[in-house]
Amino acid sequence: MPDLIRVILLGLIEGITEFLPISSTGHLLIAEHWLGARSDTFNVVIQAGAILAVTVLYRQRLWQLATGLGRRETRDYALKLGVAFLITAVLGFVVTKLGFKLPTMIAPVAWALLIGGVWMIAAEYFAAKRADNARVTWTVAILVGLAQIIAAIFPGTSRSAATIFVAMLAGTSNRPAATEFAFLVGIPTMFAAGGYELLKQVKAGPIHEDWIALVLAFVVSMLTAFLAVKWLLGYIRSHRFTAFAIYRIVLGAALLLLMPRA
């Protein structure tokens, strides 16, 4: 398979899966077993494309938050976003300093996909029993920050799934409201994580990359993520996340069954 085709496929996978509750890290690890592993720089760049797409989609909301800090409600929401991000940043730094590295084997990803799918169905069931509530509490903000770290440690968990469902179970039972908070927290979190990884690569020495392939993957990821998230935000207004949970369970089970036995 030509390398440019592999690059396009990886960009598509990143763009589709980054903000859907199915785990982009897990899907990229799976894809790289068949398409070939890429550099950390490549993975950071294509993730940046997906984050940029979501930033564009939420540009009006971000502007509203930036210019409305004089209003108590807006200031309160912005502070909760900041606290959730700060929790993730501090704990993420600690985890990094402890030498944690993502596993590259399929088995833990498969189990995380499967277990996460079952958990999503259970969480949606219990969240549905609550009265519709779009308010984000301090408890929600703190738990979302912690959920981002859990998702970072266990590939296949999905940052989106972990944060959205933690928010729904902790009190923000309204799906669009929980999703918005999770995505808004994700923007600075992933830009910071990507910037930190890229800085490490630069400090390690000259970056040797196929820049044409890198730019192509970035553009593909950005455009795909824009369409995927735009569709998701409309979908969840009238649908549950059950279809994503079933997909995770089926994929996780299939990977466990197809994995070669030691």
**pTM of the predicted structure, to 2 decimals:** 0.90
Residue 1 pLDDT class (50, 70, 90 cuts): low
Residue 96 pLDDT class (50, 70, 90 cuts): confident
- Looking at residue 155, what is its pLDDT? 81
End-to-end CA distance of the chain: 28
Span 9-37, mean pLDDT? Answer: 89
Percent of the chain whose predicted confidence (pLDDT) is above 90 = 61
Gap between the Cα atoms of 65 and 63, Å rounded: 5
pLDDT tens-place string over residues 138-189: 999 999 999 999 988 888 889 999 999 999 999 999 999 999 999 999 999 9
pLDDT tens-place string over residues 200-222: 777 777 777 788 888 999 999 99
Residue 261 pLDDT class (50, 70, 90 cuts): low
More confident residue, 66 or 195: 66
- Looking at residue 262, what is its pLDDT? 46
How many CB atoms within 10 Å of residue 215?
14
Asked if 173 and 132 touch (Cβ cutoff 8 Å), the reply is yes
Nearest Cα residue to 26 out of 18, 37, 38: 18
